[in-house]
Structure 1
């Protein structure tokens, strides 16, 4: 157990006594390793991201009501399907996993507009609130949620949790972005990207906490891809076999050039570069307002950290609260442009009118992408 919130020991003992009287000795242990519960409906835009990025407000039409379906419940239903030879073979055709290293994505021979509602329902059934839901751009993003399955199921947790489950926290939160992209063959590519946060103790007496960034988890992304495949018709065994296991990777060199024309430079095809930059933007939590694959342009919003007040520069200074109108106005539009010259890829930043950005803002954006591209 990480801790029972920040309550004092005396308060915890009082709760324990109450729980012991009220609950008996029934175990609530679950073998499922994923059981997310969203932080709750937001009343305005979320500022759960670094101060140099921004997100759009949520569409509340698809909010999952309290007590809605969870992924653990869905997994139980999936496990009830036939096993053996029939379970190993894919239940549907026209769907496959592609991968490069530990990065995977789903490819479906179905129009994005027809696939989007099923993907939306998948996240809702998994216990998430959709903070952003845009069929027009093919992008949806969940609220910050906690994987309750990570909380140790010891006797204290099993007892107190029956009465005051909210007292217990893993000290971690996750959010996921899903992007549907039409490739050159007309197929729909589905990317799921993870973003994590962890609560850390600070101060001499360790009584205060701050939320800080937690590294992206490619295996958690793969887990949800496998579960999405089950939602779309695959058996659990076939989905997990398609996703495969984690492979060893080596640290990639930096592609960033910081001279008079800041840019990323690396060898590769346009298709791969488009995919890498797209995933990099998703994992870094940029707002992608639009994109034009034929021109190699992602249209994004970005906030330069120098434009924010000191109190709003901490990484998760307002993790679960709204963003002020003044801060929203500082989120400027930019273009991230991918150019392919005979297999040599260049990624540059332009302002919203197409004029090259060569200052600090361009370096900030490209630095964030450099941490993801090829990694």
Structure 2
């Protein structure tokens, strides 16, 4: 009897010990998960400043005025700038404008994102693989009119190793009735925004230079259905590549893929006339289906080096076959006009 009692007591004792160990283990994990208290800072040392890249952007609404939107470059906050970034300059060549910097695109990407957020813009496109940042529309009031702007920033490696070129394109629209109508591009505002970006990135002064180059000669060649459409431009390949992308973006279209080593790009072109027709034919005028709202076409633009000072660009379908469709002719005519300016 006593041995049976002793055995029962031993079993109870073991179960109590095991249960206590289990509770200790769970409790130990719980305390490990608790946040550690911040260490005390020794005398004479300051606590590190918290990162500022998560600062909330300025609040923006449709009642923002144009003057407060543009502001004064000198009033930009210096606490959010990228430290010690030097040799930033805005360059203009005709209607083509870009920011040159002695830094790789990878170094400039995050500070530029923060710049847009700091200015109150939300991002519609944030693609570091394509090197494109694009804002959503920004509405503001000017002289009792409602306007809206959106910006696209494209990052390219510069001609010098370790440098970058940031291209900015602005789209601006005016509200007429219940429809948005495109406005002429404000080149001066594009320049101002790039200067602001340069100031934000860290330079106390952003230089501005205007390149004077020979007039660009552009000739449109229509070789029929077999030969397709081609633009012959009196620039080398690198300059033609850069200018063509900028021309596409300035007209409100999008370069989706850039394969510079294979000398072609894929671009998405919006057809405003088709969208307008769809709007008129819609039973409620402003009610459009998604396909009507975005009447677009995707094309392949290929570059051919004719000699060191001449390049030809050709419009093709996505399979690489030449096309002489009505829409293709419109696109090439638009490029001819923009590249000639």
Q: Smaller-chain TM-score range? A: 0.5 to 0.7
The reply on whether 1:283 has 2:250 as its aligned counterpart is yes
Structure-1 residue corresponding to 2:208: 243
Decide whether the 8 Å contact of 1:128 with 1:142 is kept in 2.
yes
Structure-1 residue corresponding to 2:145: 170
Match of 2:312 among 346, 349, 353: 346
Superposition deviation, residue 177 in structure 1: 0.9
For the pair shown, which has the larger CA radius of gyration, 1 or 2? 2
Decide whether the 8 Å contact of 1:194 with 1:216 is kept in 2.
yes
Decide whether the 8 Å contact of 1:71 with 1:125 is kept in 2.
no
Structure 1 SS opposite 2:339 = coil
Match of 1:181 among 156, 169, 179: 156
Structure-1 residue corresponding to 2:231: 264
Specify which structure has the higher proportion of helix.
Answer: 2
For the residues of structure 1 that align with 2:150 and 2:192, how far apart are their CA atoms? Answer: 14
Equivalent pairs counted in the alignment come to 271
Assess, with a 3 A threshold, how the Cα gap between structure 1 residues 313 and 288 changes in structure 2: closer, same or farther: farther
The reply on whether 1:132 has 2:125 as its aligned counterpart is yes
Structure-1 residue corresponding to 2:195: 226
- C-alpha offsets along residues 2-37 of structure 1, whole Å, 9 cap, x if unaligned? xxxxxxxxxxxxxxxxxxxxxxxxxxxxxxxxxxxx
The two structures, once aligned, show a CA RMSD in angstroms of 3.7
Superposition deviation, residue 228 in structure 1: 0.4
TM-score by length of 2: 0.67
For the residues of structure 2 that align with 1:331 and 1:62, how far apart are their CA atoms? Answer: 37
Decide whether the 8 Å contact of 1:175 with 1:194 is kept in 2.
yes
Superposition deviation, residue 170 in structure 1: 2.9
Match of 2:172 among 196, 199, 223: 196
Decide whether the 8 Å contact of 1:104 with 1:243 is kept in 2.
no
For the residues of structure 2 that align with 1:297 and 1:63, how far apart are their CA atoms? Answer: 40
Where structure 1 has 5 or more consecutive residues not aligned to the other structure, the ranges are: 1-60, 82-90, 152-168, 201-207
Where structure 2 has 5 or more consecutive residues not aligned to the other structure, the ranges are: 1-53
Decide whether the 8 Å contact of 1:64 with 1:129 is kept in 2.
no
Match of 2:268 among 298, 301, 310: 301
Decide whether the 8 Å contact of 1:109 with 1:188 is kept in 2.
yes
Decide whether the 8 Å contact of 1:112 with 1:180 is kept in 2.
yes
For the residues of structure 2 that align with 1:76 and 1:285, how far apart are their CA atoms? Answer: 30
For the residues of structure 1 that align with 2:87 and 2:319, how far apart are their CA atoms? Answer: 40
Decide whether the 8 Å contact of 1:132 with 1:139 is kept in 2.
yes
Structure-2 residue corresponding to 1:104: 97
For the residues of structure 1 that align with 2:232 and 2:244, how far apart are their CA atoms? Answer: 12
Structure-2 residue corresponding to 1:212: 181
Structure-2 residue corresponding to 1:56: none
For the residues of structure 1 that align with 2:214 and 2:102, how far apart are their CA atoms? Answer: 33
Decide whether the 8 Å contact of 2:58 with 2:120 is kept in 1.
no
Structure-1 residue corresponding to 2:219: 255
Q: Decide which moves more: 256-265 or 212-221.
A: 256-265
Decide whether the 8 Å contact of 1:63 with 1:129 is kept in 2.
no
Structure-2 residue corresponding to 1:155: none
Structure 2 SS opposite 1:371 = helix
TM-score by length of 1: 0.61
Structure-2 residue corresponding to 1:46: none
For the residues of structure 2 that align with 1:337 and 1:64, how far apart are their CA atoms? Answer: 41
Structure 2 SS opposite 1:121 = helix
Mapping 1:71-150, distance limit 5 Å? 75=73, 77-78=75-76, 92-148=85-141, 150=142
For the residues of structure 2 that align with 1:271 and 1:250, how far apart are their CA atoms? Answer: 16
Superposition deviation, residue 103 in structure 1: 2.8
Decide whether the 8 Å contact of 2:98 with 2:168 is kept in 1.
yes
